[in-house]
């Protein structure tokens, strides 16, 4: 709030004991310098385009041409991570009409080489994940049942309880 007020108003502080032309000129020069600096900051803020994940509307609005590609429903998080690593601007859209849902990735046409590299890395990660899933690992519940049976088959020590009366 305070920054908005200071942006809209200009403070010109000059001692009023001796007002000379030289003092007024210095004040106007300082105001001009401040005004130009604010213009530059606003211009730079407008030039900042979003990077990384964004909406399709923002991506198309940049006017650099858009390409698209379909990817599977698994590993969207991996794709985002790799795309951010390579600094590619992209947008992911989910097609809800198909079952299972299909994802389409839109990216700038100039990022085509980076996208091919991303897809290579993404495909390697997905195949590695599939291989890990294909390995048969015994179920934890089956292991637990096996150990329960083993413990049940072990002989138990019988404890004798005697109560002796003392006088």
Q: Are 85 and 122 in contact (CB under 8 A)?
A: no
Highest mean pLDDT among 75-79, 88-92, 153-157: 88-92
**Res 55: pLDDT:** 83
CATH topology of domain 56-134: Alpha-Beta Plaits (3.30.70)
- For residue 7, pLDDT beyond 70: no
pTM flag (> 0.75): no
Model confidence over 104-136: pLDDT tens digits? 888 886 777 887 888 889 889 888 888 877 777
102: CB partners within 8 A, 6+ apart: 70, 73, 94, 95
Q: Return the bridge partners of 68, or none.
A: 106
- Domains of the chain, residue spans: 14-47, 56-134
Rg of the chain (C-alpha set): 35
Distances (CA, A) of 69 to 22, 80, 93, 141, 152: 66, 14, 10, 41, 58
- Give CA–CA dist 91/103, Å, rounded: 10
* pLDDT-based confidence at residue 148 (cuts at 50, 70, 90): very high
């Amino acid at each position: 709030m305070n920054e908005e007020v200071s942006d809209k108003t200009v403070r010109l502080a000059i001692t009023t004991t001796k007002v000379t032309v030289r003092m007024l000129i210095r004040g106007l020069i300082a105001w001009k310098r401040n005004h130009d600096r604010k213009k530059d900051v606003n211009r730079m803020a407008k030039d900042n385009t979003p990077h990384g994940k964004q909406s399709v509307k923002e991506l198309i609005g940049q006017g650099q041409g858009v390409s698209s590609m379909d990817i599977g429903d698994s590993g969207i998080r991996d794709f985002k991570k790799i795309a951010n690593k390579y600094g590619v601007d992209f947008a992911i859209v989910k097609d809800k009409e198909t079952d299972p849902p299909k994802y389409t990735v839109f990216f700038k046409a100039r990022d085509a080489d980076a996208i091919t590299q991303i897809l290579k890395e993404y495909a390697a990660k997905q195949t590695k994940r599939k291989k890990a899933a294909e390995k048969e690992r015994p179920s934890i519940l089956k292991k637990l049942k096996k150990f329960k049976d083993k413990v049940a088959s072990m002989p138990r020590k019988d404890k004798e309880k005697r109560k002796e009366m003392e006088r």
